[in-house]
Amino acid sequence: MAGEPDPELSRVRLGIAYDGTDFHGWGRQSGLRTVQGELEAALETIFGRFGPPPKLTVAGRTDAGVHAIGQVAHLDLTARQLDKFSRASNGGNISDLAHRLNGIAGLESDVRVLTAELVSADFDARFSAVFRSYRYRIADAASVWNPVTRRMTLFVPGQLDLGRMSEASETLLGLHDWTAFCKSREESTNIRTLQRFEWKRDEDQTLVATVQADAFCHSMVRALVGAVAAVGEGKLEPADLVRIRDGKVRTSDFKVLPAKGLVLLGVGYPPESEWASRSQKTRAKRELDERL
């Protein structure tokens, strides 16, 4: 049955961080540098001699230019691969895998494996997740523009209204069809639960959005932030965003903001006893009760 774990394989969970500026996104693409491509090449160097090179399943496929400090992925190792790795590490455990991968990447690499741990085969980095959390940074005329953070901050002229933006974000929360804010993909649904959407100004008065949902469809976070930024500029009213969302049609009323300001903060999972049931629930096609 599709999605069922192989009992002869050992599953490893990785915690990953990267500066997305010079990557063409997470997913492998022929001839292009991607996060998955870099990590799987390193995994092949370590394990490829002892069986099929491991492949990564990721919690969320980030676009080109998007950064991460809390990305999660998993891979499966054969018994021979796990045994050979342990021997090569002089009896070390799987946590040494992070050190080996980082050694291959180099001290100044723009991708870093933070953790590696053995988990049960019920864990699925993508389907076991209960939320993904992102941050988006916008420096406007009220902000102290810091060139040190330029690779992860969008700089805009003029001043945005934080109060209007917070009001607009609050109106969007809940389970909805987000087609108006997503690049649709064939045979996929755009129904998601937006759990959190908040704004604040940090110590430099930079506007910082925190956006959390059970999952996001393609370009959804950058579209949501762009729509709310349009409210902050006075180009849209807070109520307009609900109208656009419920219209379920892509619109040119706002801009999808660039990837550079977006960082994947983390991915949340339920207790281990609920990993399998969560995966089954996530794989089921989402439906929206139009009566709500």
Strands 207-213 and 131-139: antiparallel
Domains 9-128 and 131-266 share a fold: yes
pLDDT for the residue 233: 97
Q: Note if 19 is an active site residue.
A: no
* β partners of residue 266: 133
Tokens (6 digits) for 138 = 């916008």
Give the Cα separation of 222 and 182 in Å (integer): 9
Query: Tokens for 38?
Result: 């870099």
**CA 102 to chain CA mean position, Å:** 21
Buried b (16+ CB within 10 A) or exposed e, 5-30: eeeebbbbbbbbbbbbeebbbbbbee
* Whether the Cβ atoms of residue 137 and residue 246 lie closer than 8 Å to each other: no
Find the Cα–Cα–Cα–Cα dihedral 178, 180, 183, 186, rounded to 10°: 70
Spell out the CATH class of 131-266: alpha beta
Query: Looking at residue 287, what is its pLDDT?
Result: 56
Digit-by-digit pLDDT tens for the chain (292 residues) are 445 556 689 999 999 999 999 999 999 999 999 999 999 999 999 998 998 999 999 999 999 999 999 999 999 999 999 998 888 776 668 999 999 999 999 999 999 999 999 999 999 999 999 999 999 999 999 999 999 999 999 999 999 999 999 999 999 999 999 999 998 776 678 999 999 999 999 999 999 999 999 999 999 999 999 999 999 999 999 999 999 999 999 999 999 999 999 999 999 999 999 999 999 999 886 655 433 2
- 182 C-beta neighbours (distance < 10 Å), count: 21
3-state SS class at 199? strand
Tokens 């755009």: give the residue: 190
DSSP 3-state of 233: helix
Q: Which of 19, 63, 124, 177 is catalytic?
A: 63
* Tally of CB atoms within 10 A around 247: 11
E strand residue ranges, 156-255: 174-177, 191-201, 207-213
Domain 9-128 has CATH 1.20.1090.10: no
Domain residue extents for the chain: 9-128, 131-266
| Amino acid in position 154 | L
